[in-house]
Structure 1
Amino acid sequence: MGEKITFAALDGEGEIPGYLATPDGPIRAAIIVIPEIFGVNAGIRHKCEGWAAQGYMALAPDIFWRFAPGVELDPDVPEQMQEAFGYFQQYDADKGVKDIEAAIRFLRGYEGIDKVGLVGFCLGGRMAYMAATRTDIDASVGYYGVMIDQMLNESHAIARPLMLHIPTADHFVGPDAQKAIHDALDPHPRVTLHDYEGLDHGFAAEMGNRRDDDGAELADRRTRDFFAQHLG
């Protein structure tokens, strides 16, 4: 169902690698899947295939393609977790937004695709917020996005629906950051926030030690309903 592809970056920068999963039948819309800091690993590919099974074309771009193309890491292996933190430090989120714009352009080039959504995890959750403030994405969802509290001055630019999943025990996004996010975004008419009491960062991973089945299934159901409403 899925295959490795490349698509054109903006400004002639080159070709961005990605994993594209295509439905067997009619395409409802497209969804960009922005990974955590572990690359387009088996869990992210599984998420793409899950969206394709529901009728969406799903594209996971390689967000580290400029400096660590093709990397796939396992967060349950301490050495690989440390390697991932190093890539996170190198990542340029402003260039990441340009890559999302390139992915939107690529997907809208397919016949029959009118709407494009985005779902992101961890660093990808931050990019979901930035996509909502800086691009014309039709709808976006962020799971345990990091550093959003430092970008709330951009919230006025959110023009399309945005949903954020916030685990209250997230050891990367503490109580003060969560309060800032709620204070700024709860009143916003286009933003929906969901808290997950006692859950930690990574609770909706497809596989591995961080996953919480009940929390993941609830968040994923809300995401499916959100995209069904806003993408079709």
Structure 2
Amino acid sequence: MTQVTVNTLDGEARFDAYIARPDQTPRAAIIVIQEIFGVNEGIRRKCDKLATEGYLAIAPDLFWRLEPGIELDPDVPDQLQQAFGLMKRFDQDLGIQDLEATIRAARQQLSDAGVPDGKVGAVGYCLGGRLAYMTAARTDVNASVGYYAVGIDGLLGEQHAIAHPLLLHIAKDDHFVDADAQRRMHEGLDNHPKVTLIDYPGVDHGFATEMGDRRNDIAAEQADRNTTDFFARHLG
């Protein structure tokens, strides 16, 4: 496993992040934001895939204050419950600060690789999808993607602060995001000039995971193609 260490914004602590580097000079960097299961094999695979597309990919351990290095499997019931417990204890505002610190670290990594003005994007899943939305509203990230983000209808008051492109993938049968919440998302964001929402009928939460019972190959491949095209347009 390849890791880097990221300094917190106040410089008083450090946390680990998984990093995948492309063979060539990076075209840009992308922060991969974990689900509630930590930086597990699936998240590392997301990073590795992005590296094959020419991006420097970094997945910070956002649960480092709670249980550093945690890796959980959503298909194991006890581990799923453990993940829910971590989510309840997780301070999302501190998580955004750690993501901002990771964005800064990614820009430094790009500069060190000979890309001094390189762009940085973010892509998140589940909890990470929510954090991708919050990152778009609260940081200077250049482009963001959220997969089956939870609770976005409760964050619509921040949509005015989204200054860079944001893509949200919505699972139409998401048992964590009901039809009313999805309607509110569309009503609040469809007319936003920087936001695009794409619906995926017939699929549930977690459909784009790299492995396990939740994955739907057809929808995952479609969403990932849309993400690839989105980042190519906005990150280069």
Asked if TM exceeds 0.5, the reply is: yes
In the alignment, what sits opposite 1:63? 62
Post-superposition CA distance 1:53-105 (Å, at most 9, x none): 11100000001000110000000000000000000001111111101110011
Distance (whole Å) between structure 2 residues aligned to residue 13 and residue 154 of structure 1: 29
Distance (whole Å) between structure 2 residues aligned to residue 227 and residue 74 of structure 1: 28
User: Quick one: which amino acid aligns to residue 138 of structure 1?
Assistant: N
User: Quick one: which amino acid aligns to residue 70 of structure 1?
Assistant: G
* Counterpart mapping for 1:130-145 below 5 A: 130-145=134-149
In the alignment, what sits opposite 2:35? 36
State the TM-score, normalizing by the size of structure 1.
0.98
User: Quick one: which amino acid aligns to residue 84 of structure 1?
Assistant: A
The structure 2 residue matched to 1:162, chosen from 153, 159, 166, is 166
User: Quick one: which amino acid aligns to residue 73 of structure 2?
Assistant: D
* Cα offset, 1:198, TM superposition: 1.2
Per the alignment, in what secondary structure is the counterpart of residue 230 of structure 2?
helix
* Cα offset, 1:7, TM superposition: 1.1
* Cα offset, 1:210, TM superposition: 0.3
Per the alignment, in what secondary structure is the counterpart of residue 128 of structure 1?
helix
* Cα offset, 1:26, TM superposition: 1.6
* Cα offset, 1:195, TM superposition: 0.2
Distance (whole Å) between structure 1 residues aligned to residue 16 and residue 84 of structure 2: 21
Runs (4+) off by over 3 Å: none
Distance (whole Å) between structure 2 residues aligned to residue 5 and residue 133 of structure 1: 26
Task: Give aligned pairs, total.
Answer: 231
Distance (whole Å) between structure 1 residues aligned to residue 103 and residue 60 of structure 2: 11
* Cα offset, 1:4, TM superposition: 1.8
Distance (whole Å) between structure 2 residues aligned to residue 154 and residue 72 of structure 1: 31
Per the alignment, in what secondary structure is the counterpart of residue 3 of structure 2?
strand
The structure 2 residue matched to 1:230, chosen from 204, 222, 234, is 234
In the alignment, what sits opposite 1:205? 209
Distance (whole Å) between structure 2 residues aligned to residue 25 and residue 189 of structure 1: 34
1:79 aligns with 2:68: no
Q: Which moved more, 1:61-70 or 1:11-20?
A: 11-20
In the alignment, what sits opposite 1:146? 150
State the TM-score, normalizing by the size of structure 2.
0.96
* Counterpart mapping for 1:44-55 below 5 A: 44-55=43-54
Distance (whole Å) between structure 1 residues aligned to residue 188 and residue 6 of structure 2: 36
> Tell me, which stretches of 5 or more residues in structure 1 are unaligned?
none
Distance (whole Å) between structure 2 residues aligned to residue 7 and residue 35 of structure 1: 16
* Counterpart mapping for 1:72-221 below 5 A: 72-110=71-109, 111=111, 112=115, 114-221=118-225
* Cα offset, 1:12, TM superposition: 2.3
Per the alignment, in what secondary structure is the counterpart of residue 10 of structure 1?
coil
* Cα offset, 1:147, TM superposition: 1.0
CA RMSD of aligned residues (A): 0.8
Q: Which moved more, 1:11-20 or 1:50-59?
A: 11-20
User: Quick one: which amino acid aligns to residue 59 of structure 2?
Assistant: A
Post-superposition CA distance 1:8-54 (Å, at most 9, x none): 11112311111000011121000000010000000100010000011
Distance (whole Å) between structure 2 residues aligned to residue 36 and residue 43 of structure 1: 10
